[in-house]
Amino acid sequence: MRGAAGRSARARLVLTALVATAALVAPFLLGDYQVYQLSVIVVYIVAVLGFDLLTGFTGQVSLGQGAFFALGAYTGVIALTKLHVPYAATPVLAGAVCFVVGTLFGRTVARLEGLYLALATFALAIATPQILKLDALDAWTGGSQGINFGKPASPLPTLLNDDRSLYFLCLAFAFLLYTGAWNLLRGPTGRALVALRDQPVAAATVGIDVAAYRSTAFGVSALYTGVAGALGALVAGFISPDSYTLFLSIQILVGGVIGGITAIGGAIFGGAFIEIVPDLVSKISDAAPWALYGLLLIVCIMVMPGGVAGLARSILHAAEKSRKARPR
Amino acid sequence: MQALLHQIFSGLANGAIYASVALALVMIFKATHEVNFAQGELAMFSTFVASSLINAGWPYWGAFVATLAFSFVVGVVIERVVMRPLQGAPALNTVVVFIGLLVLFNGLASWIFGHTMREFPSPFPPAAWYGSSYLSPHEVGMIGVTLVVLTIVFLFFRFTRLGLAMRAAAENPHSSRLVGINVGWMLALGWGLAGALGAVAGMMAAPIVYLEPNMMSGVILYGFAAALLGGIDNPWGAPLGGFLVGVLENVAGAYLVGSHLKLALALALIIGVLLFKPSGLFGKTTVVRV
């Protein structure tokens, strides 16, 4: 038993080391556009992490992550252009604002069960671009034009060019948030969240404050998504309301489901997937990525509900079993 | 006063579309306690099929009926192939599959039919005698078609054996099975009917909103609001909710929030109903046993 646990821990360690090395070395081997794509992957990883925390670990189905992504992006960019906050600090501010708004929203909808929460957040996702275009907010949001502010310049131009410095900014935030999620879910909070997901009534009877945990989980998830939104805006150099439609929320959902929503490692795969695959498939047709996404969502839920992370886990298990079955 | 009346009447006309969508949602919810997030995209896809038939030279009403049949079959197939294996799965799984269907049909429509807006003909000529300063002939036609459809659905469920069997299967699947009703097929028929109802909504809406892959995103949101307001388990309440929401949308749009916030209004309605009256105006309150 110890040997098996040791082996799977070792496999995880090797995998982590590989991913970390690749993340640190790759930007120096790639061209500017690929580095930009890499940054977008990291941004999506953070957003998918936020989705996993909420939907995977507390069982609250959110189809409205794009709304918090937009809130984070707009908060960050308004802080940057209007309040002249240093650009590296804007994701922190965005995360804080999204945490507060997310907690309040989560508190409001805490008693909605799965399906109805999905409905409410679906409506939120559809209404978001329209709210962003509101005339009354025009002075802040730039209306339907959005804001074009240009990518922030690198602080160390001799060492890193603009794209690379932004990439490392994203990577730093992703690293912090990833280890944060990992620590959170290992401890009692993580167990309480899972209990809430699997047995809400039983969880309430052993003294877990359902509404408080649910709304905090909503807030934390919004924080992750908001940081991702602010980073995404910095990487792109502009924001506009039509980048934050229902389809952004769905893209985050796809990343979560494909990677596996109950394993935070899956977010890395999911984030990469939603940036790379559409790029490859859109050569067939502009609409092909969406048709493929639809098909994948359906097939994934039916064939491997644990996503790629779940698949990897069961392969490891099977390997372990066959090794044990073999006579020594 | 004149202007207000005008807003109310054209709100009723939009409400007719929401009523059909809401009834389609009820049809599936009653049977399976699921909300079909893909209802709008299915309707959009059906409307594209109708448009292609009309462009190929079919007469309007021929294309209309053929599209209903097509949508019915698509609904049945989706239930049999996709929804069947998911019975009893957690809410997350079914929601994800519905979103999968939504994206799939949206993607397929853009792929096959393209992104450009298309005009979609109305079967009601603009100079017809039933038009007035309050309602255009198409708007009168929309309300008329919806009322006819509602009546047919009512007669079907009230007076036919098949309708009775479908109601029984939705109400109490276990006992229905014992008296020999094929519950699985009844669910599939319900999906088929929902598909056809959605297609009616799509074909009625298309002359107003123009035909393109995202044409239903606003309509489906109001359809949800309508179904929730009227009670998503109530086949009378939901269409009534549709007309109510249609009027509310127009009047509030003209006098309160302006036309730029119509989707946010639907959002507020949905969240408001879910929080304060989750069973809707005419729905049944459900009690869950631990």
Please give the Cα distance from B242 to B21 (Å, whole number). Answer: 8
B203-206 LR contacts (CB < 8 Å, sep 24+): B203/B46, B203/B47, B203/B50, B203/B64, B203/B67, B203/B120, B204/B16, B204/B17, B204/B20, B204/B141, B204/B142, B204/B145, B204/B146, B205/B17, B205/B43, B205/B47, B206/B47, B206/B51, B206/B120
Q: In this structure, what DSSP letter does residue B211 have?
A: B
Tell whether the torsion through CA atoms of B13, B141, B166 and B42 is positive or negative: negative
Q: Is B87 on the interface with A (CB under 8 A)?
A: no
Would the CB atoms of A115 and B34 count as touching at under 8 Å? yes
Tens of pLDDT, residue by residue, chain A (328 residues): 455 566 777 877 888 889 889 899 888 888 889 999 999 999 999 999 999 999 988 888 899 999 999 999 999 999 999 999 999 999 999 999 999 999 999 998 888 878 899 999 999 999 999 899 888 888 888 888 889 988 888 888 888 888 899 999 999 999 999 999 999 888 888 888 888 888 888 888 888 888 888 899 999 999 999 999 999 999 999 999 999 999 999 999 999 999 988 888 899 999 999 999 888 888 887 778 889 999 999 999 888 888 888 888 888 888 878 877 766 5
Domain of residue B106, CATH code? 1.10.3470
Identify whether A277 is part of a domain.
Answer: no
Structure tokens at B268: 């507020």
Identify whether B141 is part of a domain.
Answer: yes
- Domain extent, residue A223, equals 31-245
Max CA distance (Å), chain A: 75
Structure tokens at B194: 């929902």
Identify whether B287 is part of a domain.
Answer: no
Structure tokens at B24: 């389609």
Identify whether B283 is part of a domain.
Answer: no
Structure tokens at A276: 């790379």
Q: Is B257 on the interface with A (CB under 8 A)?
A: no
Identify whether B139 is part of a domain.
Answer: yes
Would the CB atoms of A285 and B111 count as touching at under 8 Å? yes
Identify whether A74 is part of a domain.
Answer: yes
Identify whether A287 is part of a domain.
Answer: no
Q: How many domains does chain B have?
A: 1
Q: How many domains does chain A have?
A: 1
Q: Is B232 on the interface with A (CB under 8 A)?
A: no
Would the CB atoms of A114 and B95 count as touching at under 8 Å? yes
Cβ-nearest to B271 among A111, A120, A296: A120
Which residues on neighbouring strands pair with residue A239, listed in sequence order? A147
Structure tokens at A257: 């489901």
Identify whether B32 is part of a domain.
Answer: yes
Q: Is B80 on the interface with A (CB under 8 A)?
A: no
Identify whether B289 is part of a domain.
Answer: no
Please give the Cα distance from B148 to B184 (Å, whole number). Answer: 28
Structure tokens at A220: 């934390």
Identify whether A274 is part of a domain.
Answer: no
Please give the Cα distance from B223 to B118 (Å, whole number). Answer: 23
